[in-house]
A and B are shown apart, each in its own frame.
Chain A
Amino acid sequence: MFMRPTAALAALFLMSTAPLALAAEKPTDPQIAHIAYTAGTIDIEAAKLAIEKSKNKEIIAFAKDMERDHEAVNKQALDLVKKLKVTPEDNDTSKTLAKAAKEERAKLAKLKGADFDKAYIENEIAYHKQVDGALETLLIPSASNAELKSLLETGLKIFQGHEQHAEHVAGMLK
């Protein structure tokens, strides 16, 4: 270990408290709407990349399903925020999601063929799991508007379905 004990401690402290700090701060409805919309957009962009790059018929079909479903959810989200006169508000969770997605896309863009397919579908599984977790533990319990909560609950079912679908597609690639 080259780290000085205090620095190591500080690093440990940061690592262990960062996710807690995020969870402790309850997002507001405008922030939740922004996070949900951002999460959908990220998956649409990943799908577009897969449709463009992949030659695998199962992957392309899956990506088109993702694009179609997430566009439908996001349209519902936009209609709802308009109806509720809520302006989605950018926030640290949205920024973190967008940054991680940008990095993932850059990584995927460099891959080809079966390597791309495998990395894309594995990321889809991991990403949907991550969003499911955020919806279940943070976004749904924090939402105060009943219609927003209901849309998030439908969103959770969609995401859980996609996760299972992605696992099925990943199983077929092997």
Chain B
Amino acid sequence: MRPLLLAPMLATVLVASPAFAATIEVTIDKLVFSPGSVQAKVGDTIEWTNKDMFAHTATVKGAWDVMIPAKSKGKVTLKTAGAVDYFCRFHPNMRGRVEVAP
């Protein structure tokens, strides 16, 4: 496994340099973001996997508005540090949080 993984990882590092950008996975199932709260760094990407048959969004007022279609994925790359609470525009009772370190 190691040698196989190394090449794409190296490629990612080269492209995304200088920081080691990570992708943080959040799953949506039955209208729940899980984990509900994640920690990340500037430059990291949050990727939502939507298992529901309903479209959702991950929205921060005045910042991002990520469409996550039914049975599909959506992502955002974090550009600023700070903690943000996000919600789904279609179902505002769905809430999540991202704590972004510089």
A141 interface residue (CB < 8 Å to B): no
CB contacts (< 8 Å) of A150 on chain B: these are 30
B92 & A157 in contact (Cβ 8 Å cutoff): no
Q: Is the CB of B90 within 8 A of A154?
A: no
Majority SS of interface residues in chain A?
A: helix
Residues from chain A with a CB closer than 8 A to the CB of B97 are none
B93's closest neighbor in chain A, by CB?
A161
Determine how close the nearest CB of chain A comes to the CB of B76; give it in whole angstroms: 21
Cβ of B81 under 8 Å from chain A: no
A58 CA to B91 CA, complexed, in Å = 15
B residues near A130, Cβ cutoff 8 Å: none
Taking a contact as CB atoms under 8 Å apart, the answer to whether B90 and A161 are in contact is yes
Q: Do residues B31 and A76 form an inter-chain contact, with CB atoms below 8 A? A: no
> Considering the complex, which residues of chain B in the window 53-102 have a beta carbon less than 8 Å from any beta carbon of chain A?
53-55, 70, 88-94
Do the beta carbons of A72 and B54 come within 8 Å of each other? Answer: yes
**B8-30 near A? 1/0 per residue, CB < 8 Å:** 00000000000000000000001
Interface string of A139-152 (1 = CB under 8 A from B): 00000000000100
How far is A160 from B55 in the complex, measured between Cα atoms in Å? 16
Q: Does A55 contact B (CB under 8 A)?
A: no
Do B53 and A158 have beta carbons less than 8 Å apart? no
B93–A69 CB distance below 8 A:
no
Among B30, B88, B92, B94, residue most surrounded by chain A Cβ atoms (within 10 Å):
B92
Report the minimal beta-carbon distance from B78 to chain A, rounded to whole angstroms: 25
Query: Which residue of chain A has its CB nearest to the CB of B70?
Result: A72
Cβ of A162 within 8 Å of any chain B Cβ, yes or no, is: yes
Given the interface contacts A160-B93, A165-B92, does A154 sit within 8 Å of B30 by beta carbon? yes
B residues with a Cβ closer than 8 A to A are: 30-31, 53-55, 70, 88-94
A/B interface sample: 10 pairs, CB < 8 A? A68-B54, A69-B54, A69-B90, A72-B70, A157-B31, A160-B93, A161-B92, A161-B93, A165-B89, A168-B92
Given contact pairs A160-B91, A161-B94, a sample of 18 additional A-B residue pairs in the complex whose CB atoms are under 8 Å apart:
A68-B54, A68-B55, A69-B90, A72-B53, A72-B70, A153-B30, A154-B30, A154-B31, A157-B30, A157-B31, A157-B93, A157-B94, A158-B31, A160-B93, A161-B90, A161-B91, A164-B91, A165-B90
